[in-house]
Amino acid sequence: MAKYLLLKHYRGGPTPVNDVPMDQWTPEEISAHVQYMEDFAARLQETGEFVDGQAVAPEGTFVRYDGEGRPPVTDGPFAETKDLIAGWMLIDVDSYDRALELAGELSAAPGAGGKPLHEWLEVRPLLTLPPTVTD
């Protein structure tokens, strides 16, 4: 089994087919989207492939280490970055192909008008420890 992170972006990736921002969706459209995500996660829990998932708010702050004292903080993230994560799902699957298959299904979550988003998801493998070499 290998773990993959499926990342949903607010912006920065290729434009989805159904490109209406979520803040313009009706409450019913938002509920249908959230229900799709919950049903998808529940199905993967049954197969043992779901590890965790969360939605992430669009606002955030950048912080870095800057030696002694209080770390510098700046407002952000910035709209021009492609790292504005809307949410993520961590899966544990048998293969990269299975991760791609599930990302494709997740991309079909409904958006405005109840139509699938056809959004692009970023699929990132988690790093694993290198194999131990023995004599």
User: Residues in the chain, how many?
Assistant: 135
pTM: 0.79
Between strands 121-125 and 60-63, the pairing is unpaired
Structure-block tokens of residue 15: 């434009």
Measured between alpha carbons, how far is 86 from 53 in angstroms, rounded to an integer?
11
- pLDDT tens for 72-128 read 777 665 554 445 678 899 999 999 999 999 999 999 999 999 999 988 899 999 988
Handedness of CA 21, 34, 30, 106 (dihedral sign): positive
- Burial class of residue 119 (count of CB atoms within 10 Å of its CB; 0-12, 13-18, 19+): buried
Domain layout of the chain by residue ranges: 2-57+87-125
Tokens 């829990």, residue located:
45
User: Rounded CA gap, 42 and 86, in Å?
Assistant: 20
Angle among Cα 69, 75, 76 to the nearest 5 degrees reads 125
Q: Of 9-13, 22-26, 32-36, 68-72, which gets the smallest average pLDDT? A: 9-13
**Best CATH choice for the domain 2-57+87-125 from the list 3.40.50, 1.10.260, 3.30.70, 3.90.640:** 3.30.70
Q: Residue 97's Cα: distance from chain center in Å?
A: 18
If one counts every other C-beta atom within 10 angstroms of the C-beta of residue 36, the result is: 18
pLDDT digits (tens, 9 = 90+) for 31-66: 999 999 999 999 999 999 999 999 888 777 777 777
pLDDT score of 11: 66
Q: Which residue has the higher pLDDT, 16 or 51?
A: 51
